[in-house]
Chain A
Amino acid sequence: MDNIILEMRAITKTFPGVKALDNVNLKVREGEIHALVGENGAGKSTLMKVLSGVYPAGTYDGEIHYDREVRHFSTISDSEHLGIIIIHQELALVPLLSIAENIFLGNEIATNGVIDWPKTFSRTQELLSKVGLKEAPTTRITDIGVGKQQLVEIAKALSKKVRLLILDEPTASLNETDSDALLKLLMEFRKQGMTSIIISHKLNEIKKVADKITILRDGGTVETLDCHSEDISEDRIIKGMVGRDMEDRYPPREPKIGETLLEVKNWNVFHQQHRDRQFLHNINFNVRAGEVVGIAGLMGAGRTETVMSIFGKSWGHKITGEVFMHGKQVDVSTIPRAIDAGLAYVTEDRKQLGLVLNNNIMHNTTLSNLNAVANNGVIDDHKERKVATDYRSKLRIRSHSIYQEAVNLSGGNQQKVVLSKWLFTSPEVLILDEPTRGIDVGAKYEIYTIINQLAAEGKGILMISSEMPELLGTCDRIYVMNEGRIVAELSKQEASQESIMRAIMRSGEKH
């Protein structure tokens, strides 16, 4: 009776040092909309990459049964041939090509390499009407909005005879009308017998469309809920997503909180690229001495953009608002000025934005405060060596010397080098953006210890993290952001994964 189209059995996938998926099971029936939920890093995207052949058969353990047969996909085209199409969060469209060209990219309607344009256009027209997109096939991708681009991706999937459509956060960057249209389309496809898997953080949307919900946590399957046999509340889903013990993952700390150090008032920022779109609305927050303050939120909530716009206006455009240190207004309009004001910003992406990878530990350590180891522009070798050696031992950077290139260090040690660099500028407020992303559990513990030490020394710490347990385990106070606004401020007592999620969801429904 059960018409199972896809079954993934006991999937285990390890990356060097990390078990991303541990014995994951997923069963999808033909013709249903199956939602896959979980926190950032729970393993949703990894699981879909295993399914689509991005990670080829053999690099993981477990079996994939599709259409009643065991399958070994070694490339994406293997899975696409059988009708498994994945649409990623970052759309894979070529902006300067037309809709028709994008739909048939790599799959052109052609004889001997000569494209049959009339046929291409008429096929495109057909597909566009199926997804309800009223645009000419010759329109360039760059000239249509994100919502329509998403529909083009779906049309592209349809052109490949899709049977199982996988959507990774399809509505993350869409407004409500576009999201609704997309969800209606999915329900339409369901009527026609197509199967979809949808990954989403927006639980209200999932509730609207999903037949089944599979919850992942820490790379394992928690449970699969059937939305038709019982009424599933959002709280019920959240409980499944976050329920775990968190003792001993965070070093203990006695907060000694002092006066207000950093205060940001009425901060408004327009989008860097879409210059007429206001991205951050009226942000107000403060950080006190000795305090660790967290900013929680989903991807795209505007957390990184907030701190980058404050740190020397390194993101955004038409920035207005005031920044105070010790109650006095300060000028943070350029990065050197922000540093002088006592701010330091440890970036989210340490390889792209934090380190000069082909420089050694010593050069990276002194980069932001080179004048402190130089006299009249001439670097004092001995002073510089001493600084680098001191930080290396203080932060316990594992390397064979201070001359080791940053590129050869592990993630945790790279992060410590970035921390050294900023500590050497003697900041009063240290902004940490995803400080433990991509580093192993042991190194995480060391980073938390360093954070605690800095707070104990009276520095203010502002920490952005997508891992909620990490925020709950380390922060004294948590701001919750969603869609460019601060939507809640929670004390340590009030903060829980449920309360944070609820704040996000509630604000999402308001708009």
Chain B
Amino acid sequence: MVAETSAPKTTPSIGDYLRNNIREYGLLVALVVIMLFFQFLTAGVLFRPVNLTNLVLQNSFIVIMALGMLLIIVAGHIDLSVGSIVAFTGGLSAIMLVKWGLHFSIVVPLCLILGGLVGAAQGYWVAYRKIPAFIVTLAGMLVFRGLTYLVLQNRPIGPFPKDFQLLSTGFIPDFLYFINPLPGVVTNFFALVAVLVLVALAIYYGIKDRRTNELHGTENEPFAFFVLQMGIISAVAIFLGFQLSTYKGFPNVLVVMALLIALYTFVTTRSTIGRRIYAMGGNEKAAKLSGINTERLTFYTFVNMGVLAALAGMIIAARLNSATPKAGVGFELDVIAACFIGGASASGGVGKITGAVIGAFIMGVMNNGMSIMGLGIDYQQLVKGLVLLAAVFFDVYNKNKG
């Protein structure tokens, strides 16, 4: 037999490319369609600057937790306890801030560490004692909810000091107010400039990436496609940025969230840790026999989840301006659903940060839109459930067809 090592395939056609990447674009298209749909049904309320700001504030913590949950799901596990960790760390922060009068610059890092410890406590049983994560975190869900009631003694604690509240309610100030050319329309000129700069950077790096790929003979997406995609994403980003800039600008949480999304995208696509998590989720035994310390890796994904859940807990507490024992009930389901809508596989090894983020926003937009329309929680849950099932069915259908 003669080996015929064919040359790397030349540029695929747009059709091929679409077919291969249908999941990611499908998701983005779905989000846009859902947004337009509710924009229509709510008679234009959805895209109003105030509502867009609300949308970000209401969903930031789900997105932040989805980042950690995605890693856990990719690693082949699940975490049902995040809702309880949210309440627990929120409660602890309230005690430290309100009862003990500590400054937030001490409380915030302390709570993040505590969240990490909670994650470590659960990760230990999953990673080193081989107890299924479903069971460990189900236990954790009950234990930490119970602890929350204990530490809060069944009563909400609040209000919080002003500086801590800014975490959720604050906005990035308009550093560039003095050169604002349209003071009547744009109320936060800095936000608009920031969006334009980011879009410009994205285009610059996108083109640069294509150059290096060409240099190394690696596949690129078709150019027309690249232009189209960049065009649409830029237009949407500029539109949303503009809307926000006509209100109060960027909420602080939006910046935190965006930085975290960037960080986790980088970790999952470029770092050795990310690569190893995907390999472990894809085939744990093979990964272990390849010299990867799978136990330690699993342990750290849970620690990471705990830290992110603690951050979410503080954001929620700051937003509600009180820590209640009932905070975060059912959040684990929204977070997990976001990951699965975003294309993560329940058997591990598959899933993307961008997918989970879009998934979280699909859920968020539906919540928001249905609330504006005045639909009750009953319909909201029903619709969300069906959307989750449909998204996963779409995945399975696609996989079988391909």
Q: List 10 additional contacts besides A382-B216, A398-B3; criterion CB under 8 Å.
A: A336-B293, A352-B283, A363-B278, A370-B272, A378-B271, A381-B270, A382-B212, A392-B5, A396-B3, A401-B9
CB contact list, A354-395 vs B, under 8 A: 354-359, 363, 367-368, 370-371, 374, 377-379, 381-382, 385, 392-393
CB contact list, A166-200 vs B, under 8 A: none
Assess whether B279 is in contact with A367, with CB atoms less than 8 Å apart: yes
Q: Which residues of B contact A (CB under 8 A)?
A: 1, 3-6, 8-9, 212, 216, 218-219, 270-273, 275-276, 278-279, 282-283, 285-293, 349-350
Assess whether A374 is in contact with B5, with CB atoms less than 8 Å apart: no
Return the chain B residue nearest A370 by Cβ: B272
- Name 23 interchain pairs, CB-CB below 8 A, sorted by A: A336-B293, A345-B289, A353-B286, A357-B282, A358-B349, A358-B350, A359-B279, A359-B282, A363-B275, A363-B278, A367-B287, A367-B290, A367-B292, A368-B291, A370-B276, A371-B272, A377-B271, A378-B270, A379-B272, A381-B270, A382-B216, A398-B6, A403-B219
Bound together, the chains give a CA A245 to CA B218 distance in angstroms of 47
With A335-B291, A379-B271, A446-B1 already in contact, the answer to whether A400 and B8 are too (CB < 8 A) is yes
Assess whether A356 is in contact with B216, with CB atoms less than 8 Å apart: no
Bound together, the chains give a CA A363 to CA B283 distance in angstroms of 13
The A-B contact count (CB < 8 A) is 99
With A336-B291, A367-B290, A368-B291 already in contact, the answer to whether A356 and B272 are too (CB < 8 A) is no
A315 CB to closest chain B CB, in angstroms? 11
Assess whether B285 is in contact with A352, with CB atoms less than 8 Å apart: yes
Assess whether A400 is in contact with B349, with CB atoms less than 8 Å apart: no
B residues less than 8 Å from A314 (CB atoms)? 288-289
Assess whether A370 is in contact with B275, with CB atoms less than 8 Å apart: yes
Bound together, the chains give a CA A381 to CA B350 distance in angstroms of 20
Is there a chain B Cβ closer than 8 Å to A347's Cβ?
Answer: yes
Bound together, the chains give a CA A339 to CA B291 distance in angstroms of 7
A357 CB to closest chain B CB, in angstroms? 7
CB contact list, A291-324 vs B, under 8 A: 311-312, 314
Return the chain B residue nearest A444 by Cβ: B1
Is there a chain B Cβ closer than 8 Å to A429's Cβ?
Answer: no
Assess whether A401 is in contact with B272, with CB atoms less than 8 Å apart: no
A77 CB to closest chain B CB, in angstroms? 29
Bound together, the chains give a CA A346 to CA B219 distance in angstroms of 31
Bound together, the chains give a CA A5 to CA B335 distance in angstroms of 64
With A336-B293, A370-B275, A370-B276 already in contact, the answer to whether A400 and B288 are too (CB < 8 A) is no
Assess whether A354 is in contact with B286, with CB atoms less than 8 Å apart: yes
Bound together, the chains give a CA A339 to CA B289 distance in angstroms of 10
Is there a chain B Cβ closer than 8 Å to A442's Cβ?
Answer: yes
Assess whether B282 is in contact with A377, with CB atoms less than 8 Å apart: no
A498 CB to closest chain B CB, in angstroms? 32
Bound together, the chains give a CA A398 to CA B289 distance in angstroms of 25
Bound together, the chains give a CA A339 to CA B292 distance in angstroms of 11
A residues less than 8 Å from B212 (CB atoms)? 382
Bound together, the chains give a CA A172 to CA B75 distance in angstroms of 38
Return the chain B residue nearest A395 by Cβ: B3
A residues less than 8 Å from B9 (CB atoms)? 400-401
A residues less than 8 Å from B275 (CB atoms)? 363, 367, 370, 379
Bound together, the chains give a CA A374 to CA B289 distance in angstroms of 20
Bound together, the chains give a CA A401 to CA B7 distance in angstroms of 8
Is there a chain B Cβ closer than 8 Å to A11's Cβ?
Answer: no
Bound together, the chains give a CA A374 to CA B288 distance in angstroms of 20
A393 CB to closest chain B CB, in angstroms? 6
With A397-B5, A401-B8 already in contact, the answer to whether A356 and B283 are too (CB < 8 A) is yes
CB contact list, A384-424 vs B, under 8 A: 385, 392-393, 396-398, 400-403, 421
B residues less than 8 Å from A445 (CB atoms)? 1
A residues less than 8 Å from B8 (CB atoms)? 400-402
A269 CB to closest chain B CB, in angstroms? 17
B residues less than 8 Å from A312 (CB atoms)? 291
B289 touches which of A347, A357, A381, A382 (Cβ 8 Å): A347
Bound together, the chains give a CA A367 to CA B286 distance in angstroms of 10
Return the chain B residue nearest A373 by Cβ: B272
Bound together, the chains give a CA A421 to CA B292 distance in angstroms of 13
A407 CB to closest chain B CB, in angstroms? 10
Is there a chain B Cβ closer than 8 Å to A443's Cβ?
Answer: yes
A residues less than 8 Å from B3 (CB atoms)? 396, 398, 446
A69 CB to closest chain B CB, in angstroms? 41
With A357-B283, A359-B278 already in contact, the answer to whether A442 and B271 are too (CB < 8 A) is no
CB contact list, A442-469 vs B, under 8 A: 442-443, 445-446
A residues less than 8 Å from B278 (CB atoms)? 356, 359, 363
B residues less than 8 Å from A397 (CB atoms)? 5
Name, among A334, A370, A421, A442, the residue most crowded by chain B CB atoms within 10 Å (CB to CB).
A370
Return the chain A residue nearest B6 by Cβ: A400
CB contact list, A334-354 vs B, under 8 A: 334-336, 338-339, 345, 347, 352-354
Return the chain A residue nearest B347 by Cβ: A358
Return the chain A residue nearest B212 by Cβ: A382
A355 touches which of B272, B286, B288 (Cβ 8 Å): B286
Assess whether A398 is in contact with B291, with CB atoms less than 8 Å apart: no
Bound together, the chains give a CA A39 to CA B392 distance in angstroms of 47
Name, among B8, B9, B212, B289, the residue most crowded by chain A CB atoms within 10 Å (CB to CB).
B289
Return the chain A residue nearest B282 by Cβ: A356
Bound together, the chains give a CA A345 to CA B285 distance in angstroms of 13
Name, among A336, A367, A371, A425, the residue most crowded by chain B CB atoms within 10 Å (CB to CB).
A367
Bound together, the chains give a CA A52 to CA B171 distance in angstroms of 74
Assess whether A335 is in contact with B5, with CB atoms less than 8 Å apart: no
B residues less than 8 Å from A335 (CB atoms)? 288-291
With A355-B283, A398-B5 already in contact, the answer to whether A385 and B216 are too (CB < 8 A) is yes
A184 CB to closest chain B CB, in angstroms? 41
Assess whether A379 is in contact with B270, with CB atoms less than 8 Å apart: yes
A residues less than 8 Å from B282 (CB atoms)? 356-359
6 closest A-B pairs (Cβ-Cβ)? A442-B1, A396-B3, A356-B282, A368-B290, A356-B283, A370-B272
B residues less than 8 Å from A367 (CB atoms)? 275-276, 279, 287, 290, 292
A residues less than 8 Å from B276 (CB atoms)? 367, 370
A377 touches which of B273, B286, B349, B350 (Cβ 8 Å): B273
B294 CB to closest chain A CB, in angstroms? 10
B residues less than 8 Å from A352 (CB atoms)? 283, 285-286
Name, among B9, B212, B290, the residue most crowded by chain A CB atoms within 10 Å (CB to CB).
B290
Bound together, the chains give a CA A353 to CA B287 distance in angstroms of 8
B residues less than 8 Å from A442 (CB atoms)? 1
Bound together, the chains give a CA A314 to CA B16 distance in angstroms of 43
B residues less than 8 Å from A358 (CB atoms)? 282, 349-350
Assess whether A443 is in contact with B1, with CB atoms less than 8 Å apart: yes
A residues less than 8 Å from B289 (CB atoms)? 311, 314, 335, 345, 347, 353-354
Bound together, the chains give a CA A311 to CA B289 distance in angstroms of 9
Interface 1/0s, chain A 212-254, versus B by CB < 8 A? 0000000000000000000000000000000000000000000
Bound together, the chains give a CA A322 to CA B283 distance in angstroms of 31
B367 CB to closest chain A CB, in angstroms? 33
Bound together, the chains give a CA A442 to CA B3 distance in angstroms of 10
Bound together, the chains give a CA A499 to CA B218 distance in angstroms of 54
B71 CB to closest chain A CB, in angstroms? 15
Bound together, the chains give a CA A339 to CA B273 distance in angstroms of 19
Assess whether A401 is in contact with B283, with CB atoms less than 8 Å apart: no
B residues less than 8 Å from A357 (CB atoms)? 282-283
Assess whether A356 is in contact with B287, with CB atoms less than 8 Å apart: yes
Return the chain B residue nearest A335 by Cβ: B291
B residues less than 8 Å from A381 (CB atoms)? 270
Assess whether B272 is in contact with A377, with CB atoms less than 8 Å apart: yes
Bound together, the chains give a CA A311 to CA B291 distance in angstroms of 10
